[in-house]
Amino acid sequence: MDKNNQKDLHHVVIVGGGAGGLELATKLGDSLGRKGRAIITLIDKSKTHVWKPLLHEIAAGSMNPEKHELDYLAQAHWHHFNFRLGSMDSLDRANQAITISPHYDEDGIEVIPSRIFKYDTLIIAVGSTTNDFGIKGASEYSIALDTQVQAERFHRRLHNALVRAQTQVEAIHEGQLEVVIVGAGATGVELSAELHNTTRELTAYGLDKIDPDRDVKISLIEASERVLPALPEKLSESVHSELTKLKVNLYTGERVTEVTSKGVFTHSGRFIPSALVIWAAGIKAPDFLHEIDGLETNRINQLVVNRTLQTTLDNNIFAFGDCAACPWPGHDQTVPPRAQSAHQQASMLIKTVKYRVAGKTELPEYTYRDYGSLVNLGRYSTVGSLMGSISGGSLFIEGMFARLMYQSLYKMHLMALHGFFSVFLQTLARMITRRTEAQVKLH
């Protein structure tokens, strides 16, 4: 297609290549892009994609990211959309354009200059970042799990701490091998169980000076009175019981007041020594969204949208996923920031964009459907509640069935990106190669 014809096409710009953004770009590329009916452009600050719910496994070392990451350029080539590397830093609504900041390499050399992208439909799906609530020392001495880079950084620190303890002459001191996780939501509890397993796996590979039951401690701090405070109480109780069996130290009703290089202080005066602190408490949308070019945002920087997912002050700009505050009729809160809501919204936006390209003005409205929750505690247990508010209650599940349901969520994401046959071959290949590999990342 020549450039003159391209100028007349509807240009859809999607900012953010998370699960929802990438699925949306893939589906629109396969339909509108392949048929030459629209130009689809995906913008992300990373070169590769990893499903965010897997980050705790990367941090713990039970998953090698190189075997699960997807190259955006390859996906764009296969599915008829454009990928552009960079971070959105400003918006010009009057001219329907966004600015992407320059991209630098690891030596600080500019690789890609600042660019401007025009749009007819702009869809913002930049997800969320961890909210440390301004707690003293949190940003300096703890690591969040928002990105693959952060997850890999924590794993390196954990691995280095174990190797250092193995080779040092003096005895292992208090807090040296203790991991403190702030926030007992899904990420926090899943990470604590994974760490219990992987630290034992790691020490089995020649780190004979370390006794994991004696030297490695895992502590979980939650300001609410129970773990998983946003999920059903029965699920919370089951997870609490499993973590207790794993000898994870649970501190509920404790609010962190300061993080230092030596440990964590809580409001009750408790001090928990630790050289490895993970912050997994609370979320907010990225700071650059705060009232960007006059768009309405809430106190955690989420773009306020209507049920069509259009921003309240500009019908050409949509937002979904964790970065959007979408109404939830019949409830006193907005749609919860969960993977299932982002997936549902992405599915609706495929139809929405097709309507806009066809010139239709009446757009579908989003209704959140709660299909329940699943929490995976690694090889130890998987628990969950199915159906949620759809049935007016919850069906509690655990064990093998819950584990299969949990694993199927990731497979569904992969099938949305690659199709059934490709996912089947990938799964078969991993089953074969896993028998010849270490069960934990050793570097």
The terminus-to-terminus CA distance of the chain in angstroms comes to: 47
Residues 329 and 432 in one domain: no
Instruction: Report d(CA 221, CA 200) in Å as an integer.
Output: 22
Structure tokens, 99: 């600015």
Residues 289 and 277 in one domain: no
Residues 156 and 236 in one domain: yes
Residue 441 inside a domain? The answer is: no
Residue 409 inside a domain? The answer is: yes
Give the closest residue to 239 by CA, choosing from 283, 248, 218, 339.
248
pLDDT the model gives residue 147: 92
Q: What's the domain range around 54?
A: 3-128+285-357
pLDDT the model gives residue 393: 55
Instruction: Report d(CA 164, CA 166) in Å as an integer.
Output: 5
Residue 365 inside a domain? The answer is: no
User: CA quadruple 172, 208, 212, 53: dihedral positive or negative?
Assistant: positive
Mean pLDDT by 10 residues, the chain (443 residues): 65 96 96 96 95 90 85 96 96 97 92 96 96 94 94 93 90 90 94 90 83 91 94 89 94 96 96 95 93 94 97 97 94 89 95 96 92 79 62 63 76 83 79 66 59
Residues 190 and 149 in one domain: yes
Residue 363 inside a domain? The answer is: no
| Contact of 289 with 303, CB cutoff 8 Å | yes
- Domain end position, chosen among 327, 357, 387: 357
Render 144-171 in DSSP notation, one character per residue. Answer: E-SSHHHHHHHHHHHHHHHHHHHH-SSP
Q: Which residues, listed in sequence order, are joined to residue 16 by a DSSP beta bridge? A: none
pLDDT the model gives residue 388: 47
* Domains of the chain: total: 2
- Domain end position, chosen among 297, 323, 357: 357
3-class DSSP state for residue 372?
strand
Instruction: Report d(CA 228, CA 375) in Å as an integer.
Output: 9
Residues 384 and 300 in one domain: no
Residues 63 and 118 in one domain: yes
CA distances from 421 to 96, 383, 426 (A): 39, 29, 9
pLDDT the model gives residue 247: 93
Residues 148 and 230 in one domain: yes
Residue 124 inside a domain? The answer is: yes
Give the closest residue to 53 by CA, choosing from 19, 29, 21.
19
Residues 173 and 35 in one domain: no
- Domain end position, chosen among 306, 322, 357: 357
Return left, alpha or beta for 36; rule: phi > 0 is left, psi -120 to 50 is alpha, else beta. left
CATH number of the domain bearing residue 430: 3.50.50.100
Q: Which residues, listed in sequence order, are joined to residue 130 by a DSSP beta bridge? A: 283
Residue 364 inside a domain? The answer is: no
Give the closest residue to 18 by CA, choosing from 72, 56, 61, 62.
72
Q: What is the DSSP letter of 86?
A: -
Residues 22 and 163 in one domain: no
Residues 146 and 223 in one domain: yes
Residue 52 inside a domain? The answer is: yes
- In this prediction the pTM is 0.90
Residues 188 and 66 in one domain: no
Give the closest residue to 384 by CA, choosing from 100, 186, 180, 134.
186
Pairing mode, if any, of strands 382-386 and 372-376?
Answer: antiparallel
Residue 205 inside a domain? The answer is: yes
Residues 15 and 63 in one domain: yes
pLDDT the model gives residue 209: 87
CATH number of the domain bearing residue 44: 3.50.50.60
Whose tokens are 């247990």? That residue is 381
